[in-house]
Structures are given as C-alpha cells and as structure tokens.
C-alpha cells in the first residue's frame, strides 16, 4: 500500500505513470483530487479481484469438505450390507447440489478488472489532457466496478447457498447414521 502523496496545489506539475505513481517531471498540471479518485477507483477494482479469488478458493474448499463428509459419514452409515435410505439419497442429492453450485462459482467469468488500453490510447490521439484522461479512467473503473459487483453478489449468494446445502447434507448423513 502506497503512502499518501503530499498535498500539491492545482497548478503544480505532475506526471502520472501507468502504475499510478506520480512525480514532478511533466509540464502538464494535474489536480491531486483527480489522482485521489483514480487511486480509489483502482483500489476498488483490485479489491474485486481479491474478492473473486477468495470466493473461488472457498468454493473449492466447500466442495472438498462436502465430498469428505459424504465419504466418511456416509461410509459409516453404510458399513456392512446396509441399504440406502431416503436420508442417504437426500445427502447424496445435497452433494450433487453443492458440486453444481461450486461449479457455477468456478466457471470462468467476464469481469473487467483493467481498463482497455486502446480506449486510453485513443484519448491521447484526440489530444485529451492528463486530467481528462484520469477522470475518464476513474469513471471507466467505476462503471466496470458496478457491472462486476452484480455478478460478484450473485456468486456470493450462490456460495452462501452451497454452505447451507453442506449443512443439510451433513445433518442428513448424521440422521441416517443415528437411525441405523
């Protein structure tokens, strides 16, 4: 995490590199407020990327736990020559549902986590100044954040549903084990 830059007046000259780092080599004045907005927009998109990665990791762990629970508890209840009961079939259906919900989360998605370089290059060709480019980039990040957020919320809801289904699965397996 970068430390905040010292306050600059609106007339001070600043150069913004691709990474968002600023120095005082350019002759184009940049409003530090534009830099602040751009930095925050980038942080929001970076947080969404981390959120997506974490969600996919948890979904993978959930299906792993569900499979292990079905194997261990289901194996205990089916030891010997026991028949499958409705409880066992219900737990198996839950395992399948957890797998499907997890696959939904793990499927490749189109989330825009970077700005389109061609669009940004076209701003240079049109002669846009750095302040306009920074604002346009910030607004572009904000628009993408909003689109991404809809999908991420849906994925979070799917993950929450998969956790509930795992709880139902384990409960059914324990009921089946207790009734034998």
pLDDT digits (tens, 9 = 90+) for 39-95: 888 888 889 889 989 999 999 999 999 999 888 887 877 777 577 889 889 999 999
Residues 55 and 106: their CA atoms lie apart, in Å, by 9
Of the candidate ranges 57-61, 72-76, 144-148, 158-162, the one whose mean pLDDT is the lowest: 72-76
Q: What is the pTM of this model?
A: 0.69
pLDDT given at position 37: 86
For residue 112, is pLDDT > 70?
yes
Which residue(s) pair with 23 in the sheet? 15
Where does the pLDDT of residue 123 fall: very low under 50, low under 70, confident under 90, or very high at 90 and above?
confident
Between 3 and 58, the higher pLDDT residue: 58
pLDDT given at position 97: 96
Q: Strands, DSSP E only, in 39-180? A: none
Where does the pLDDT of residue 168 fall: very low under 50, low under 70, confident under 90, or very high at 90 and above?
very high
pLDDT given at position 81: 59
- 4's enclosing H/E stretch is none
| Distance, CA of 61 to chain centre | 16
b vs e for 157-169, b when ≥16 Cβ sit within 10 Å of the residue's Cβ?
ebbeebbebbebb
Where does the pLDDT of residue 19 fall: very low under 50, low under 70, confident under 90, or very high at 90 and above?
very low
CB within 8 Å of 161: residues ≥ 6 apart: 101
């Amino acid at each position: 995490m970068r430390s905040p830059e010292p306050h600059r007046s609106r007339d001070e000259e600043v150069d913004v590199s691709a990474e968002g780092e600023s120095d005082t080599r350019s002759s184009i004045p940049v409003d530090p407020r534009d830099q602040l907005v751009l930095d925050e927009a980038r942080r929001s998109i970076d947080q969404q990327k981390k959120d997506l990665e974490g969600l996919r990791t948890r979904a993978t762990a959930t299906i792993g736990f569900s499979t292990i629970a079905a194997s261990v508890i289901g194996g205990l209840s089916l030891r010997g020559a026991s028949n499958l009961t409705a409880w066992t079939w219900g737990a198996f259906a839950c395992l399948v549902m957890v797998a499907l919900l997890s696959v939904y989360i793990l499927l490749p998605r189109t989330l825009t986590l970077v700005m389109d370089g061609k669009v940004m290059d076209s701003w240079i060709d049109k002669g846009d100044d750095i302040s306009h480019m920074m604002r346009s980039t910030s607004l572009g990040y904000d628009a993408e954040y909003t689109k991404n957020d809809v999908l991420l919320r849906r994925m979070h809801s799917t993950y929450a549903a998969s956790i509930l289904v795992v709880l139902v699965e384990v409960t059914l397996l324990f009921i089946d084990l207790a009734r034998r």
